[in-house]
Amino acid sequence: MSSSSDHPRIYDVFVSFRGEDTRKNFVSHVYAALKNSRVKTFLDDEELRKGKPLGPELERAIEGSHISIVVLSPNYAGSSWCLNELLHILHCRQTYGQLVIPVFYQVDPSHVRKQTGHFGNALEFNAKNKDDQLLSKWRKALNDVATISGWDATNMR
């Protein structure tokens, strides 16, 4: 494993989230708090360069971050973009030692780990017309991130 110091840092924090679930409430507050604390944070609508392909820009931002906060919400698994971000985040955790902090927002951590309940339904809907190998990678990534010590937003005060 390479150390994170071997990899150029662009951001302190990358935030992975499902926009329709969390952008205007939870994530906007997290972003404001980080920004007010002078933490250089990547948030897709703030930092993506117009006219550039999304995939490589997101990967560059993930790789260039010291920490990734993964906000797991009810429809997170319904987004191929979110799940592919998660794959890359976990790759950076393994390769560069990136710190990954899961936040369980309106979803039970065990539902993420086991892909059950509404969270599991969102994944199943998203998985239609996807190959089994990709689905297997997504399932493993969700299980892996759910076993990392993080925060359950329902218990935060």
Which residues are tagged catalytic?
Answer: 85
Whether 123 contacts 74, CB under 8 Å: no
Tokens of 35: 């920004």
Whether 82 contacts 105, CB under 8 Å: no
Beta strands in the chain (DSSP E): 11-16, 41-42, 65-72, 99-104, 151-152
**Cα separation of 139 and 120, whole Å?**
10
Q: Is 66 helix (H, G, I), strand (E, B) or coil?
A: strand
Report residue 123: phi and psi, to 5°: -65, -45
Whether 41 contacts 15, CB under 8 Å: yes
Whether 108 contacts 117, CB under 8 Å: yes
